[in-house]
Amino acid sequence: MSQTSRLTIPPPLSLYIHIPWCVKKCPYCDFNSHEHKEMQNFTDMESMYVDALIKDLEYSLPKIWGRKIHSIFFGGGTPSLFSGKTIHKILSQVRALTPILYDAEITLEANPGTIDTDHFEGYKDAGVTRVSLGIQSFNDAHLKSLGRIHNSLDAKKGIEIAMHHFNEVNLDLMYALPHQTLDEAIDDAKTATSFNTQHLSFYHLTIEPNTFFFKHPPQLPLDDESAVMQETIESILSEHGYKHYETSAFAKPKSECRHNLNYWEFGDYLGIGAGAHSKLTFHDKMIRESRYKNPKQYMEKVNSQNMIESETIIHDNDLAFEFMMNHLRLIDGFTIQNFEEKTGLSISVINNELKTAIDKKLISMDHGMIKPTLLGQRFLNDLLSIFLK
């Protein structure tokens, strides 16, 4: 009998909506984003893409029939290229097609170089409850090296406008940037905390394949230097009341990103839009699927009800690793009961791996709670490799 057949209650379900366009492709970005160089035609493209999104959701309904949406996330790309009116149209159709929790978190990613007061008013009227601003840095030299279209003044103005309209605002920043010093990283952390937003994300810049930085590597801080940056940033954020709850995420009390938490807690999510990914649980299987990446091809495929480029069944042998790959990003870890409920597996199937991780001081296990140690957090990839079959 398949282990997944023991999963009698599906996990919470989230909806991810991908907006694939940007004004400019950043040199470090490996997300599915495309520059829309013909700005005068973008309004027509926007309308066609929204129609495709709605059809995509309609065609996907049998896979999620009767399940409530716990959170919605507009990611990209740059979702804030779309007007409030367009976001309203999308969310109205989502509400008409699916049951959504009355207090569902609805997040929209925004670039400080593409928004103003009218944008945020439109997003709030559409039903968006949370905004995530791609700040990256408050240092103009670093913003330029990262290829961002905004400057530090735009960033600060965007934060103030966002906080005027929304109670829940996240700031995305990065550290270990090209030629960045420790003092500059500290300045970014102190500036970020000065706004007192409910949530902050600090990501270590990594060089990913298929990016400009991969082909033309910039000079980055040494590993020891970036480790000091990380520890110092975490200390500053802690002093300002932010709890470190996920590898790169920090939140004020009760302000964790519910959508991302659902990912890390091995919940389900339906992704619609070009290149979007899904993870869905059924009574007899668990699958991952991805849609075609190219926006034009995606829209064509939706019209023929053939937008899924690949579908993979998560087999029993991979379930433990899939669970660990997500849950071990959470600082507080997980319970044995949670592991067994989410995978249908007995914890005994990973006893050897758990012992190895404990012996290497990468995880701790106490009263049914398993969590990464500080060493495990720092060397997460090494920890995860233990559970890879």
State the pLDDT confidence band at 36, using cuts at 50, 70 and 90.
Answer: confident
Find where tokens 């944008």 sit: 119
pTM of the predicted structure, to 2 decimals = 0.95
The one-letter amino acid code at 202 reads: F
What backbone torsions phi and psi does residue 377 show, to the nearest 5 degrees? -65, -40
Encode pLDDT of 211-243 as tens digits.
999 999 999 999 999 999 999 999 999 999 999
Encode pLDDT of 290-301 as tens digits.
999 999 999 999
State the pLDDT confidence band at 2, using cuts at 50, 70 and 90.
Answer: low
Say yes or no to pLDDT of 317 above 90.
Answer: no
Find where tokens 């102190």 sit: 190
**Cα–Cα distance, 5 to 80 (Å, whole number):** 41
**Averaged confidence pLDDT in the chain:** 94
Using the 8-state DSSP alphabet, how is residue 68 labeled?
A: P
What is the per-residue pLDDT for 321? 94
The one-letter amino acid code at 328 reads: L
What is the per-residue pLDDT for 177? 97
State the pLDDT confidence band at 14, using cuts at 50, 70 and 90.
Answer: very high
What is the per-residue pLDDT for 150? 94
Domains of the chain (ranges plus CATH)?
3-262 (3.20.20.70), 318-389 (1.10.10)
Say yes or no to pLDDT of 187 above 90.
Answer: yes
User: Within a 10 A sphere around the Cβ of 314, how many other Cβ atoms?
Assistant: 19
What is the per-residue pLDDT for 1? 43
Encode pLDDT of 327-365 as tens digits.
999 999 999 999 998 888 899 999 999 999 999 999 999
